[in-house]
């Protein structure tokens, strides 16, 4: 059945097209500009086609978010790899994370502000999500000093996420951003000597 295979290929191709166009549109004009009508127009199909691929708009956002996590994990891994000492690796990871959020604001929104229906709680957690978290775990492990690496990674991730979001929404002064990141890195690395 060659025709059926071709159809599935075309469907898969269109599936990816929807995700790509949604992401481009979001990065260009923000998620509030990503309506099902505009999206349908851009992919040159009618609205109902979107719903034959995704359960709804939220599912499209979630698909974009998943793509974002994969890229984030890659960026974090690259940052860690190009560093020498554990301290430098941690600093590189934090800066890579902040840079990713700054360069892809709407993508970051999809990943961590919108799209609640991604299963973060195990066991159904998608691989890209686990990979991104694993990078935090690897980077922080050197500073564990007997403490739980998972907890430390969670604190590191949450902290840098909070700083990034509050900075991006104007809640924290933008010109202190670098100093805040440096302070955070100090705290994450320094507390190993204590307790």
Binding residues (CB under 8 A) for a copy of itself: these are 112-113, 116, 120-121, 147-148, 150-152, 154-155, 157-167, 169-173, 176, 179-180, 183-184, 186-188, 190-191, 193-195
Give the span between the Cα atoms of 66 and 135, in whole angstroms: 16
Q: Is 82 in the site for DNA (CB under 7 A)?
A: no
Residue 112 CB, nearest approach to DNA (Å): 20
Give kind and range of the element (H or E) at residue 107: helix 105-112
Helices 127-141 and 86-103: angle between axes, nearest 10 degrees: 140
Question: Which one of DNA, a copy of itself, none interacts with residue 166, CB within 5 to 8 A by kind?
Answer: a copy of itself
Residue 158 CB, nearest approach to a copy of itself (Å): 4
Give the span between the Cα atoms of 20 and 15, in whole angstroms: 9
Q: Which residue in the set 15, 17, 49, 166 belongs to the binding site for DNA (CB under 7 A)?
A: 49
Give the span between the Cα atoms of 184 and 91, in whole angstroms: 9
Give the span between the Cα atoms of 85 and 70, in whole angstroms: 25
Question: Which one of DNA, a copy of itself, none interacts with residue 165, CB within 5 to 8 A by kind?
Answer: a copy of itself
Question: Which one of DNA, a copy of itself, none interacts with residue 51, CB within 5 to 8 A by kind?
Answer: DNA
């Amino acid at each position: 059945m060659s025709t059926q295979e071709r159809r599935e290929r075309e469907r898969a191709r269109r599936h990816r097209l929807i995700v790509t166009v949604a992401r481009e549109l979001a990065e260009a004009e923000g998620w509030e500009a990503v309506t099902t009508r505009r999206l349908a127009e851009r992919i040159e199909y009618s609205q109902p086609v979107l719903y034959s691929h995704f359960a709804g708009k939220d599912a499209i956002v979630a698909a974009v978010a998943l793509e974002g996590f994969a890229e984030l994990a890659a960026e974090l891994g690259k940052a860690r790899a190009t560093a020498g000492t554990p301290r430098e690796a941690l600093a590189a990871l934090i800066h890579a994370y902040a840079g990713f959020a700054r360069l892809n604001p709407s993508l970051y929104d999809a990943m961590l502000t919108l799209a609640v229906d991604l299963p973060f709680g195990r066991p159904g957690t998608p691989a890209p999500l686990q990979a991104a978290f694993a990078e935090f775990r690897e980077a922080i492990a050197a500073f564990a000093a007997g403490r739980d690496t998972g907890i430390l990674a969670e604190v590191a991730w949450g902290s840098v996420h909070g700083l990034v979001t509050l900075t991006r929404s104007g809640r924290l002064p933008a010109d202190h951003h670098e100093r805040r990141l440096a302070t955070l890195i100090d705290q994450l690395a320094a507390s190993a000597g204590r307790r």
